[in-house]
Chain A
Amino acid sequence: MDDDSVLNDDSGSLEHQACYIYTPTSEALSSSTPKKRRAASSSRTPRSKREKVDSKNCETPGALGHGFPTLLRDLEDEYAVNARYDAFQRLWGDVERRTDNVLAQVNDETLQSVSTFASKAGQEIYGEKLPTGLILTGPNIAAHGVLFEQIETRIQSVDKRGRVAILTSKDSSNLKNVLKKIIRCVTEIHEGFDDEDDIVEAKTGRNPSRYNYDPEIIHDWCSTHPDAKVVVAVQDTEAFDPAVLVELISILHQYLPKIPFILLLGIATSEDIFYEKLPHSTIRLLRGDRFDVQRFEESMEQVFEEAVLSSQSILKLGPRVADVIFERQKDHTRSVASFVMALKYAYMSHFYANALSVVLGSVDSEEELNNILSDAHCEAIRNLPSFKPFVEAKISTFPWQARDLLTSNKALKAAVFNASKGCRSYSTNLSEAITVFRKLQSIVSPQQANDIPTYELYSRILWGEFTTRPAFRDAMLTAKKINAEKFHALLTSLSELPSELSHKLSAAADKVQELQSEKAAKGSSLVSEFALPDSHRTTVKSGRVRLDELKSGMTSQDTEYHKLVASTIQSLEKYFKDKFKPYTNLFLHEIFFYDLKSPHSQVFAAKPRPSVERALSRPGDYLGCECCGGNDDEEGRGIEGSQPYTAILYQLYLESPALIGVYDLWSAFRMVSLGDKADQEEDEDDEEEKELQAQFYRALAELRYLGFVKYSKKKTDHLVKLAWKGL
């Protein structure tokens, strides 16, 4: 308000101000701030429509402490809201705990070997060389801090091998600062490090006081701590200033006879790049070992199995959202931490926005479930897409049950309880079958099992189309063809896994063993018809003759074995086909599988630049008004005078070359904005003209603020184009 009055008071001086606040006069200009219109999507499920309605109700944050809204058009009672919140806390807490346990285990092997290295490294092994551990950490920067903290705790607190000083590239401004940091970390003296060349006063009378960067301080410390190693760990070697690193290494090497230094270097890219950066004379001072951190794929697989597949996790990811999450992992982040975040977000949004998620909190007790489900809940369940096929299936067999389900809440509740049991057993069977399949794959074609991790199979399996995939058929075919010994090994290892087939498989394994020993007595090994070598004869006939020859050589054990292989593979295939049914067949799958993909793609991969560009080039999409021509066709109608001024200017900007004359831009802008009237001579005094010019400057300033243009230094009154659309 103040600004306005200033403007009004001395409007004469406006021309000389670099910037002023413009208050539009006409009503058309003072339209309310553009509100983002939700992009229409045809694939919206009825549930999400309902959510949208709900979301209006929950504009005001709930009076409940946790901020969960009341859903179902405010029909949900407070108890259910709280129950939803509690269920979220309980279920997610459980998943988080298990995931953390897995993650703590992941680096254990590396930590163990680094710690052993630290304790062993000494003059006996490495002589005059500085013991150096290269830790190949992988390019996921976010995980490095955690890893090095773990190393520190492990060496310093758990195994008590000495002190660890962790250096990051932020410390690498100069050698003095690096040494100061090391000394501070090792000796835990904190006074006297603030000033440039401060002196550290000695604590004990025996040692003289020294400069605060003098490594002798560590030497003094070492004399009171015999056997303690001093580990200097550089967390991000690539970003660390190479010149400082070289000096640091030479200093550490100089003091090696006095202080048992150990250097740990975290290498995110590759050893070769690291070697290229340092001079040979420096590398020659180092000798040591390399440690590999577990790869992303392996740790991801473990976390996935624990957090998603495990039967303890009641809420599962649906295939669509799983695809979104895993694609983002593969393409963009490759970090386990971000997967856990995505998973948590899935839990959060499920329990926040889906009133029926309350069912998940009480799957174990029917009584509780009956208590918590209100009439509104029942109505919502009847509106689920999976309810219709469920009822329709009942009609043909038990019509009265179908009626009950529609009319009686009690019957519905019972059905819900049974269905939730069904969902859970489906998930349990699924994870069992996946484990069995992975085992099979890892035995028959280890290469393929290595290439495709479980989590990438997951969504295919949930869609129920996995059994038609080449990966599945390949595995089955190869399983038929492997030799008897391997087949026996396969059967035994599969029968060890918990599944309904395990009995049958172990019986088959015994049988194979028996046949094998019988055959071995004759001095040959078992062969099934599947395993006969492919004929390389040129004609079909000769191939067949050859095959017949081979077949005639087979004994009765062989034929029996052949039958066994065929039946086993068949039952395995049947088992997989049975278990890998599409999850959409299940009643209540909307509750047990979270499968909304748009929240994830919007929240985790925000697209600020495309959004701004879209808003400016097609303002109608967001404004939704008639005048901007957004509504009718998909391409938009190009530039129009009725669009917001910044949008007009932006579209003109898109058409211009890299160097833009401001006057040209203004003429074009005037042309578009005034339309027919533009033919008239420019009149300096015309009010409308003046206002338009002001709008032009404002729009230009906005473009500049958004980083699209800057003033050119090469040519006066010209702008440089900085951003191209679509990048």
Chain B
Amino acid sequence: MMLARVADSLYWIGRYVERAEHMCRLADVLLNATLDRTESSGQVARMVISAAMDGELEGELTPYDAALAMTMDSEDGDSVTAALARARENARQVRDQLTTETWERLNLIFLRVTGPKASREFTDAPSQFLHDIIADLHLFKGAADATMSHGEGWGFLQLGVFIERAQLTGRLLQAGFGRSLGRPVTEHAAMTALLRMSCALEPYLRKHTADIQPRLIRQFLMFDEDFPRSLRFATARIEEHLSGVGRNVDLGGAAGPERLAGRLKARLLYAEAETLTGEDSDLLVATVLEECARLHAGIYDTFVAYSLEMRLPA
């Protein structure tokens, strides 16, 4: 049992924290990969900008400016600073539901990225700055994992994390390989950059050795069973946590979002990964993104903004 408003805030903390971490990695890879002016650096820049900024600003920004905007823009809800500020604002509203250890971690990151020294630190050593935020976010997740009860509140936090993660990986796959956006990545350096953006390079190498191919990368990011950022892994966790938090809801026979989550999980679990064509992969990624959007709405309607008439005590 927990307040609907609290569940909503925990869900959003999960989403914003995941988003902030992802944007840090994108900005960091962008800055590193574009140090030289080669074809691959152009591919990386295009990929990052289309994954992070919906492609709107393509061509207008230098990589440094793009990384700066992705990190420090306080207006854009997708920037690192804005996402962390929102995560922390949500945490403040449910301060009583978080353990002190968890809260302190998030508060510390927030104080750092919004502090007076932040933009100076970014200018001096952007990679170090981004790296530290990612490390702090891992501490936050670790503190949450180690100190919070893994009950309903935890379930909503994780739902936020994994729905956001599935969408971010999906968008990255579209930016890297999607035909609709034109120009898929081909350069070796660009492909390793893509793996770095989802923190997948080392796990990928361990599985496929240094055989870097678009088909294998795609397979890995979509269907790997154990890699925590693959679509299959994320959708399996969504299904798991949703059936956990949905256990006590009586919907009077109507279908809840669990059905969507179960179907989505099965799609990735039973897809014919080895023989899937590029076109089919594009379609599947698009489906995952659509279904995540429906899940997002379904969770809100079922747990937070339900109509009172359906739930009055007998």
Same assembly: no
